[in-house]
Amino acid sequence: MSRRLFTRTPALTGNDAAAKREEIRACFHATFDRYEQLFEVLTGDAAFYEKPIPLRHPLIFYFGHTATFFINKLLLAGLIEARIEPRFESMFAVGVDEMSWDDLNDAHYDWPAVEAVRAYRRQVRAVVDGVIERMPLALPIDWDVPAWVVLMGIEHERIHLETSSVLIRQHALKHVRPHAAWQPWRVAAPAPTNTLVDIPAGEVSLGKTDASYGWDNEYGRHDVQVPAFQAARHLVSNAEFLEFVEAGGYADDAWWDAEGLAWKNYAGAAWPTFWRKADDGWRLRLMLEEVPMPWNWPVEVNNLEATAFCAWKAAQTGQAVRLPSEAEWGRLYDHAGLAEVPADAPAPANLHLDHAASSCPVDTFRHGELYDVVGNVWQWTQTPIHPFAGFRVHPLYDDFTTPTFDGRHALFKGGSWISTGNESRRSARYAFRRHFFQHAGFRYVVGDALPEIETHVPASQYETDKLLSEYAEFHYGDTHFGVENFPKALADLAIRAMGTRPARHALDLGCAAGRSSFELARHFEQVTGIDFSARFIGLGVQMAEQGRLRYTFAEEGELVSYHERSLAELGLEGTRGKVEFFQGDACNLKPNFSGYDLILAANLIDRLYNPGKFLAHAHERLNPGGLLLIATPCTWLEEHTPRAEWVGGFKRDGENFTTLDGLKAVLGTHFRLVEGPLDVPFVLRETRRKFQHTLSEVTLWERL
């Protein structure tokens, strides 16, 4: 096929900064354009607004989302100063995985017209172009420079190019049409017989070392000594999987683990999701059409189905058939002698959109003794995603990976026909819940049982992230120096001030780990907690779902202690059902977050990029007579709030202008100061011997 290759991910290295700037610009344009071209396959407006599957947003969300992502990250990095279209940007944020904090209630979204989103995308494109033009660029590109943020936006869009193609494949046929740029493979034949290949023992080094953009979870180091095993030469084809279906594999619970069984019963699954049973035999749903079953293409299943197949196959053959580990896949890659996708030639694999817009026969691309070690479809492993030694969260995308370190997100490797850029690389580590469908199948292996470390996330029940642990302790842990628990003290203060006012719904804005939300729920019928950080929300969600939280805590040096806290021991068990958590930007909240009797904003305003905007609109979200509680340590820092946006803490007209002065000035029109300022102390424990002791200034305002 002699069309232009889809742009490769720029190397981070080089010696010509001007050329690199052009390369990044070209990659941005190619990605942005190809993404829009994907949505050309939709037949009309209904295709944008009807959900392909209930647990995900409609496609209009994804059309806007990748553009909003650029704006959000550029804002966060301080590379642009203002939002482009705040209303769109409040709707198009979040929304990748089935996160419990992603608001999927249709009633909360008044989706804009497709044409308006197209126009918005054009604006974003111009803004990003401007950033690429102006940004300082030194080589190699490091992960804390502007170019990294642009690359992050590009790679994020490439991920959504793939995940959106899956959603389109899950859309009703009437919503899609064939497209010249998205033509599937047209070759099918009977499947080859699968055989086993001996893979000798060897050491595998995981952890990113190549000089291209990577997500935080790829860094660090993980060396594994892999014993000898055997691997199927081919990915499991539709024909090979048919044996399992025809043997009653879906009807027989014996082959399914507990999670698989629960999913199978819930979903009513009786065969692979993209298979269709027609009068004249099996057919396969591709992205844009249905075709007679191509028996020699790889089967696409979720991790649970792949695991059940292996259990069945093991019983049939008497061999220890199972899914590989992440490290075993690394061995296959090394054993096959593979290299990354070449810059100027088509990939020797069904990868990177270099060939066609679908899977292809499993005996098309040979890699040493094996086929399809990369490409065609992703290959499920047994390994739950976990951090390598040395893992650090990227500060601009702190919720890319950490919410998936829960032991329930399995890694898959190798990429599919539409995996491009970072996704196509050996070091890529993407993980999904085991019931999720992507363009993913599997290759089974025969080998000894895997060590626990490859199949379970070590200490997964314990939060080990330092910042999160500190906040877990701050919210749910011990008190120190006789200082009362701060989130509880504020909630108590708010509840007392509410008196006999209506107490239907409270908003805990900047809720962090969520303690105040639970405390407020003792008095309010319903409490909504919102925080900018999905990592913090995760703590509150876990508390609400499981009623307990476990975390490790720094004692001194490398020594940690283990802690467990429960709502029950805090007397809050009864509040669980009254609290919900969402991720959101306090300066740009969705309109449906309104009608509150109380807004609690604890240690929030001096962490916002535009506190004035939040304060100027706070009254719109409160019922008349409702209260606004603001607590602030007044620690204004340029890293959080540009100097021009500080509410106070500077000289104005030669006189001191405090935060309280600033609050009075902004809130005066719509509020009456009813209490305060009060000093409410808090203690944040860093280690056994180091504590921060701070006084937060608390004021209570009544909405006029």
Binding site residues, Fe ion, CB under 5 A: 96
Smallest distance, Å, CB 377 to Fe ion? 22
Q: Which residue is at the shortest CB distance from Fe ion?
A: 96
| Minimum CB distance to Fe ion, residue 156 (Å) | 6
Nearest approach in angstroms of CB 690 to Fe ion is 37
Contacts of the segment 399-405: beta carbons below 8 A, 24+ positions apart: 399/533, 399/534, 399/535, 399/583, 400/215, 400/216, 400/217, 401/215, 401/216, 401/217, 402/465, 402/535, 402/538, 403/97, 403/99, 403/534, 403/535, 403/538, 404/97, 404/431, 405/457, 405/460
Instruction: Write the DSSP string, 559-615.
Output: EEEEEEEETGGGT-GGGGGGEEEEE--TTS--TTS--EEEEEEES-GGG-S-HHHHH
Going by C-alpha positions, the residue among 50, 171, 94 that lies closest to residue 437 is 171
Q: Considering beta carbons, is residue 109 or 518 the nearer one to Fe ion?
A: 109
Instruction: Characterize the bridge pairing of strands 526-531 and 505-509.
Output: parallel
Closer residue to Fe ion, CB minimum distance, 68 or 237: 68
Residue 86 beta carbon to Fe ion: minimum distance, rounded to whole angstroms:
19
Nearer to Fe ion, 96 or 513 (CB): 96
CB of 385 to Fe ion, least distance (A): 17
By beta-carbon proximity to Fe ion, the closer residue of 96 and 308 is: 96
Q: At its nearest, how many Å lie between Fe ion and the CB of residue 216? A: 15
Cβ proximity to Fe ion, 67 vs 197, nearer residue = 67
Check if the beta carbon of residue 299 is closer than 8 Å to that of residue 175.
no
Nearest distance from C-beta of residue 61 to Fe ion, angstroms: 10
d(CA 250, CA 271): 7
- To Fe ion, the closest distance from the beta carbon of 159 in angstroms equals 7
First to last CA, the chain: 69
Those residues whose C-beta lies under 8 Å from the C-beta of residue 131, and which sit 6 or more positions away, are 74, 79, 80, 146, 150
Nearer to Fe ion, 402 or 632 (CB): 402
Element (H, E) at 281: strand 281-285
- Interatomic CA distance for residues 584 and 533, integer angstroms: 8
β-strands 596-602, 622-632 pairing: parallel
Min CB(401)–Fe ion separation in Å = 13
User: Can you tell me the distance from the alpha carbon of 163 to that of 63, in angstroms, rounded to the nearest whole number?
Assistant: 12
* Sequence-distant (≥ 6) Cβ neighbours of residue 33 within 8 angstroms: none
